[in-house]
Amino acid sequence: MDLTTTYLGLTLRNPLVLSASPLSENTDNLKRAQDAGAAAVVLHSLFEEQLRRESEELDYHMSHGTESFAEALSYFPEPAEYRLGPEDYLEHIAKAKAAVNIPVIASLNGASVGGWTEYARKCQEAGADALELNIYYIPTRLELTAAEVEQTYIDILKAVKGVVTLPVAVKLSPFFSSMGNMARRLDQAGANGLVLFNRFYQPDINLDTLEVEHSVLLSTPQARRLPLRWIAVLYGRIRADLAATSGIHNAYDVLKVLMAGASVTMLCSVLMKQGIDFLRVIEREMRTWMEQHEYESVQQLQGSLSQKNCPDPSAFERAQYMRILTSWRPPASS
């Protein structure tokens, strides 16, 4: 059985990739993932905003209350140097590279052009095999047009592509008026892969405190439907590789998104719930299913049910959605 696939020009032993998550902060986890069958790892994200805030926060605290009172002209010793910015992250890349022999994909997270290119270059120098740009942006400013938001994505990608020779994937949100067009623009701007889709923290209201809170919600299997649709739509229509993320919780999910056209699947929530070793189960069940159904390789099934190749391309279009609704009947009331 040939499970190999290619993603961002990298040949992977199978389509199972550990996605950017807290799991990848620890090199032991990376080793465990490799042993359990992961074909590549995406490191946790280096957050542009975090770096900027850390700089400001540190300056604030080191200067707050200083030079005001004769007995306490400062409150902290001032170290000769700090390990601020990407140093820790870069070191982590190097450690990850030393710890595993599967590809290590660095992840940069941010929302503006500034700062990114420098970090991207440093990630390349630190030995990353590829980069994933995790562009997040909640355009709450009502003056901002869709075109401006889209252009920012393109600008960031181009800026990064301009300074690195590594393959670059872009992790996207699904919230574009024309997702397909956006994917094509990124493809044309040089993206080597698209990771579909990003999941944002979603706010909630706490009825006890009457405060709005953010918390991490792990993905549910239902979430897989959205990337599946867009991967299927995009497959074969853009050059960039497609990676599926969100809601991939078992071998069948993996098989489905591969059939839709994904080159790889990114796994996070299921491993956080079931443990990293669950990768073994997924791979085993994939193999079993493929054997039972007489598939020879992943490449064989990849995209086989994309919009382009599926028996009913309209199934991926809006009409289908309508049909689900119309075929639905409320349960009989007793």
Q: Tokens in use for 157?
A: 């990608």
**What is the C-alpha separation between 112 and 109, in angstroms, rounded?**
10
Torsion angles phi and psi, residue 145, rounded to 5: -90, 160
Binding window for other proteins (CB under 8 A); candidates: 74-82, 134-142, 216-224, 309-317:
74-82
- Cβ 53 to other proteins shortest distance, Å: 8
Residue of the chain from 1, 9, 11, 59 that contacts other proteins (CB under 8 A): 59
Q: Strand 5-7 relative to strand 10-12: parallel, antiparallel, unpaired?
A: antiparallel
Q: Which of 2, 4, 35, 76 binds other proteins (CB under 8 A)?
A: 76
Binding residues among 200-219 for other proteins as defined by CB under 8 A:
210-211
Q: Which stretch binds other proteins (CB under 8 A): 16-24, 69-77, 97-105, 234-242?
A: 69-77
Distance of alpha carbon 77 from the chain centroid = 39
Closest distance of CB 158 from other proteins, Å = 22
Q: Does the footprint of other proteins cover residue 27 (CB under 8 A)?
A: no
Judged by CB under 8 A, which of 1, 73, 217, 322 binds other proteins?
Answer: 73
User: Across the chain, which distance is largest between two alpha carbons, in Å?
Assistant: 81
Q: Are 229 and 218 in contact (CB under 8 A)?
A: no
Backbone angles phi, psi at 233, to 5 degrees: -70, -40
Which segment (18-26, 75-83, 188-196, 299-307) binds other proteins by CB under 8 A?
A: 75-83
Burial of 247 (0-12, 13-18, 19+ CB in 10 A): buried
Q: Counting Cβ atoms within 10 Å, is residue 20 exposed (0-12), middle (13-18) or buried (19+)?
A: buried
Task: Using alpha carbons, select from 61, 68, 62, 12 the residue that is nearest to residue 41.
Answer: 12
At 298, is the secondary structure helix, strand, or coil?
helix
Select from 4, 11, 35, 55 the one that contacts other proteins (CB under 8 A).
55
- Nearest approach in angstroms of CB 119 to other proteins is 11
CB of 105 to other proteins, least distance (A): 23
Stretch that binds other proteins, among 58-66, 95-103, 264-272, 282-290 (CB under 8 A): 58-66
Site of interaction with other proteins (CB under 8 A): 51-52, 54-85, 88, 115, 210-211
